[in-house]
Amino acid sequence: MDASTQRTELTGSFTAAAWDRIAPIMAEIEALPLLTRLSDGTLPAEIFRHYILQDALYLKHYARCLAIVAAKAPDNAQVLRFLGSAQKAITVEQGLHAGFLTQFGIMAADVTLAEPSPTCFAYTNFLLATAYHRSYAVALSAILPCFWIYWHVGEAIKNRPVIEGNAFQAWINTYGDPQFAAGAREVIALTDIAARAASPAERTEMTDVFVRAAQYEWMFWDSAWRLETWPV
């Protein structure tokens, strides 16, 4: 099942409406030069190194966000489902990072000493603040775009012709993999369950943070393309 099919099956749900809200953002994401050139194997190695290093820093904070959100779940069933889906995503991404860090000559010490870019810093702090200070439903909506957008992008790129010798094929395979898709579908389902129990005001806030996180997803890839650093 690809992301488009999943979106069709969600018609009428909170997540379907939220996904519709970010349609303009998704159009911009799909047109990003970083993703276009990653898919055809022409992305400069320097840009990919910058991206994967920032992504490793992001994942460290994102994993903590997932743990906070799980702790806020209203019952044990949702705690276990959420932890399971989160574990799938974290395990898959950690394996991907380990391979690419080695392939592109990035040492463990480089990750330890690396400084988050302005966009990485802003995005992770937005997620952590939302996870700590907002309800389970709102926090869940904030972390959902990372799952869903990577699944959507991975599926789209996976369906393009395979470029022989593409150094980034493992990235494409990871986010187009059924294991990653299963984790994303679980978080989508949990978000809809949470939305049904939320008040109208809370649902509005859920939509707001979903849109903001989607904007940050675009900014993250764009900042890597620009080799973003702190200006002063």
Whether 3 has a pLDDT exceeding 70, the answer reads: no
What DSSP designation does 74 have? Answer: S
Pick from 5-14, 46-55, 58-67, 218-227: least confident: 5-14
Run of H or E residues at 24: helix 23-30
Q: Hunting for tokens 């809200």 — which residue is that?
A: 21
Residues 155-191 have pLDDT tens digits of 999 888 888 889 999 899 888 888 889 889 989 999 9
The rounded distance, in Å, linking the Cα atoms of 22 and 99 is 32
Percent of the chain past pLDDT 70, that is, above it, reads 95
pLDDT (0 to 100) of residue 8: 47
Q: Is the pTM of this model over 0.85?
A: yes
The rounded distance, in Å, linking the Cα atoms of 90 and 33 is 26
